């Protein structure tokens, strides 16, 4: 325990010497003034960027030769920032919303049926269906120009054009389920390339 007390006594004597030395006191006071000045400048700049630009006066208690130290509350930046730019730089910009991906064009019978009907019965994909259409050069008839050999007497009628629109739609949908668009390849240039 005696060793500890002796060490404390040496530290106490060193502290007494430090506080008794006028040179050490001036050095410590100057150090404190610089540290406080830097701290106050940092606080003033960060807390009040648009506040008054008056200098701060700090007095040092280092003796009769000390004079007040002036620090600028808001030092001018090397490259001045325009007010509008500084406001926009302070606020984070919202992230732009991603553009929606274009949907793949629909495929399937609902998409192709309207195009095929218009091309087969009128030669245009946007034409209205003609369920009574008859081909003068073949046995094809109806909105989908189904050949009699393909129609095969369905619904008790020999020609597609003699069937109702609903019956023609049902047969055409069945042909599409079994063969895809293969039964209408003769008019594919019309219904594939056109944009509705």
Kindly indicate the confidence band of residue 51, based on its pLDDT and cuts at 50, 70 and 90: low
Assigned domain for 70 exists = yes
Indicate the number of domains in the chain: 2
Contact 187, 125 (CB under 8 A): no
Kindly indicate the confidence band of residue 172, based on its pLDDT and cuts at 50, 70 and 90: very high
Assigned domain for 5 exists = no
Assigned domain for 172 exists = yes
What residues make up the domain containing 169?
A: 109-193
What average pLDDT does this structure show over 38-66? 60
76-131 residue pLDDT tens: 555 555 555 555 556 778 888 888 877 666 678 888 888 899 888 888 888 898 99
Q: Percent of the chain having pLDDT more than 70?
A: 63
**Confidence check: pLDDT of 52 > 70:** no
- To the question of pTM greater than 0.75 for the whole model, the response is no
Contacts 24+ apart (CB under 8 A), 141-150: 142/168, 143/117, 143/168, 143/172, 144/116, 144/117, 144/120, 144/168, 144/171, 144/172, 144/175, 144/184, 145/120, 145/121, 145/184, 145/187, 146/171, 146/172, 146/175, 146/183, 150/175, 150/183
**Confidence check: pLDDT of 188 > 70:** yes
Assigned domain for 94 exists = no
Whether residues 52 and 118 fall in one domain: no
Assigned domain for 83 exists = no
**Which domain-ending residue is among 33, 53, 75?**
75
**Which domain-ending residue is among 75, 94, 124?**
75
**Confidence check: pLDDT of 156 > 70:** yes
Of 49-53, 95-99, 152-156, the poorest mean pLDDT is in 49-53
**Confidence check: pLDDT of 169 > 90:** yes
Whether residues 119 and 185 fall in one domain: yes
Whether residues 121 and 178 fall in one domain: yes
Assigned domain for 2 exists = no
**Which domain-ending residue is among 51, 75, 99?**
75
Q: Who wins on pLDDT, 144 or 76?
A: 144
Q: Who wins on pLDDT, 90 or 140?
A: 140
Domain CATH number, residue 171: 1.10.530.10
């Amino acid at each position: 325990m005696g060793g500890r007390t002796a060490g404390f006594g040496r530290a106490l004597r060193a502290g007494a010497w430090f506080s008794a030395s006028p040179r050490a006191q001036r050095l410590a006071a100057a150090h404190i003034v610089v540290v406080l000045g830097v701290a106050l400048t940092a606080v003033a700049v960060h807390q009040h960027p648009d506040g008054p630009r008056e200098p701060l006066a700090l007095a040092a208690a280092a003796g009769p030769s000390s004079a007040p130290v002036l620090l600028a509350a808001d030092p001018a930046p090397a490259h001045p920032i325009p007010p509008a730019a500084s406001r926009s730089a302070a606020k984070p910009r919202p992230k732009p919303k991603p553009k929606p991906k274009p949907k793949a064009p629909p495929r399937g019978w609902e998409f192709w049926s309207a195009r095929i009907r218009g091309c087969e019965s009128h030669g245009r994909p946007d034409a209205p269906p003609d369920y009574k259409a008859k081909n003068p050069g073949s046995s094809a008839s109806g909105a989908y120009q189904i050949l009699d050999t393909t129609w095969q007497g369905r619904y008790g009628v020999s020609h597609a054009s003699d069937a109702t629109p609903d019956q023609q739609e049902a047969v055409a949908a069945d042909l599409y389920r079994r063969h895809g668009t293969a039964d209408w390849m003769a008019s594919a240039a019309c219904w594939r390339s056109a944009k509705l």
